[in-house]
Amino acid sequence: MSSLPIIEIKSLVKVFGAFKAVDNLSFTVFKGDVFGFLGPNGAGKSSTIRMMLSLINPTAGEISIFGKSLLNHRKSILEKIGSIVEKPDFYPHLSAERNLLIFATMSGVSVTRKKVHEVLELVGLKGRERDKIKNYSHGMKQRLGIAQTLIHDPELIILDEPTTGLDPQGIIDIRNLILYLKNEKGKTIVLSSHILSEVELIATRMVIINKGKSMAEGSVKELLNSEDLVISINVDNPLKAMNLLEASPWSKSAKIETSSIVLHAAHEDIPEINRILMQGSLKVYGIESRRKLEDYFLKLLQEAV
Partner 1 sequence: MIRVIGLEVMKIATKPRSYIGFLAIAIIISIIEFALYVDGKAYLEFITQSIEQTFYFEGNILNGYLVALIILSTLIIQIPLLIALVTGDLVSGEAASGTIRILLTKPISRMKILWAKFAAGGIYTGLILIWLGSLALGVGVILFGTGDLVALRSDGLVVLPADDVLWRFGAALSISYVSLMVVTSLSLMLSCFSDNSIGPIITTMAIIILFTIIGTMDVPVLDRIKPFLFTTHMIIWKNMFDNPLSVEVIRSSAIILLAHIGIFMGIATYRFTTKDILS
d(CA 129, CA 96): 5
180 binds partner 1 (CB under 8 A): no
Output 80 or 128, the one with its CB closest to partner 1.
Answer: 80
Interface with partner 1 in residues 66-85 (CB under 8 A): 74-79, 81, 83, 85
Amino acid at 186: G
91 binds partner 1 (CB under 8 A): yes
44 binds partner 1 (CB under 8 A): no
Picking from 130, 123, 185, 173, the residue whose alpha carbon sits closest to that of residue 148 is 123
53 binds partner 1 (CB under 8 A): yes
Binding footprint of partner 1, residue count (CB under 8 A): 31
Q: Using alpha carbons only, what angle is made at residue 217 by residues 211 and 221, rounded to the nearest 5 degrees?
A: 130
Any residues with CB less than 8 A from the CB of 106 and at least 6 apart, and which?
none
What is the DSSP code (8-state) at residue 216? E
How many residues in total does the chain contain? 305
Q: Which of 3, 41, 57, 258 binds partner 1 (CB under 8 A)?
A: 57
Report in angstroms how near the CB of residue 152 gets to partner 1 at its nearest: 9
Q: Estimate to the nearest angstrom the gap between the alpha carbon of 222 and the chain centroid.
A: 16
d(CA 237, CA 224): 30
Report in angstroms how near the CB of residue 15 gets to partner 1 at its nearest: 11
86 binds partner 1 (CB under 8 A): yes
93 binds partner 1 (CB under 8 A): yes
Report in angstroms how near the CB of residue 274 gets to partner 1 at its nearest: 54
Q: Which of 28, 54, 219, 234 binds partner 1 (CB under 8 A)?
A: 54
Q: Which of 42, 67, 108, 127 binds partner 1 (CB under 8 A)?
A: 108
Output 85 or 262, the one with its CB closest to partner 1.
Answer: 85
Q: Estimate to the nearest angstrom the gap between the alpha carbon of 69 and the chain centroid.
A: 25
50 binds partner 1 (CB under 8 A): yes
Q: Which of 48, 107, 214, 260 binds partner 1 (CB under 8 A)?
A: 107
Q: Which of 2, 11, 105, 251 binds partner 1 (CB under 8 A)?
A: 105
Interface with partner 1 in residues 136-165 (CB under 8 A): 148
246 binds partner 1 (CB under 8 A): no
The dihedrals phi and psi of 199, each to the nearest 5 degrees, come to -60, -40
Report in angstroms how near the CB of residue 146 gets to partner 1 at its nearest: 12
Beta-bridge partners for 260: 234, 257
Instruction: Say if residues 171 and 198 touch (Cβ distance below 8 Å).
Output: yes
The dihedrals phi and psi of 232, each to the nearest 5 degrees, come to -110, 120
CA dihedral 55, 45, 27, 264 (to 10 degrees): -170
**Residues lying near partner 1 in the complex (CB under 8 A):** 50, 53-57, 74-79, 81, 83, 85-94, 102-103, 105-108, 148
